[in-house]
A and B are shown apart, each in its own frame.
Chain A
Amino acid sequence: QKEVEQDPGPLSVPEGAIVSLNCTYSNSAFQYFMWYRQYSRKGPELLMYTYSSGNKEDGRFTAQVDKSSKYISLFIRDSQPSDSATYLCAMSAGSGAGSYQLTFGKGTKLSVIP
């Protein structure tokens, strides 16, 4: 079993839809959970950052972490064509030397159709 699983998509939705992106993981030591957005031919851009379980909201974006199920989600409300990108989940154990290394999902490619 891979440490982090993420459905690669592609996912295509109409403008204004609610988008749900998900990752599952196997390493119970992970405490820090990130979502990155990557536009074509660009570097990943940090979008959301969550420590441990719970929800975090930032504008149209909501990140959820359920450590008991080893499952994280990113919701995008009122999706826009500018949200079209690849979304990468990432996580780390975050304590001890070397443990800040990130483990990435392979990314979900999202297209929002006007």
Chain B
Amino acid sequence: DADVTQTPRNRITKTGKRIMLECSQTKGHDRMYWYRQDPGLGLRLIYYSFDVKDINKGEISDGYSVSRQAQAKFSLSLESAIPNQTALYFCATSDRRTSGLVFFGPGTRLTVL
């Protein structure tokens, strides 16, 4: 069984639609992250959460929002999707006791038309 799962795995949507990407983990980690990956730009941090009551903006948070529903669940929302949000989105987790070891989910491929 996968330790970090993401749903959906693929999504095609239209400009202006609201989209939610969900992430859940069974690793027992307290920290969760959302990254996006674009060709030529690498992985960039959107939001991160060190516990349920702690949400922080990353490098590229504009146009995104997140919700940490429980220690094991972290969702990413695009309130009004635009084409330049087409990318591969990864959820990731880490444990505060293991100094930066970050584990990634399988990714969601999002296409905004």
**A: which residues have CB within 8 A of B?**
8, 32, 34, 36, 41-46, 49, 51, 88, 90, 92, 94, 97-98, 100-102, 104-107
A107:B104 contact, CB within 8 angstroms: no
Across the interface, do A100 and B41 meet the contact criterion of CB distance under 8 Å?
A: no
Cβ contacts A to B, 22 pairs, < 8 Å:
A36-B104, A41-B107, A41-B109, A42-B106, A43-B4, A43-B107, A44-B104, A46-B101, A88-B42, A88-B43, A94-B100, A98-B56, A100-B31, A100-B96, A100-B102, A101-B48, A101-B58, A102-B45, A102-B100, A104-B43, A105-B42, A106-B42
In the complex, what residue of chain A is closest to B104 when comparing beta carbons? A43
CB distance from B23 to the nearest CB of A (A): 11
A101, B106: Cα distance in complex, Å: 19
Chain B residues with a Cβ closer than 8 Å to the other chain, count: 25
**Given A98-B48, A100-B31, A100-B100, 6 other A-B contacts at CB below 8 A?**
A32-B99, A36-B104, A42-B107, A43-B107, A46-B102, A46-B103
Give Cα A13–Cα B99 distance, bound, in whole angstroms.
Answer: 34
- Residues of the A chain whose Cβ atoms lie less than 8 Å from the Cβ of B31: 100
CB contact under 8 A between A102 and B102, given known A43-B90, A44-B90, A97-B50: yes
* Cross-interface CB contact of B106 among A34, A43, A94, cutoff 8 Å: A43
Considering the chains assembled together, what is the distance between the CA atoms of A49 and B106 in angstroms? Answer: 20
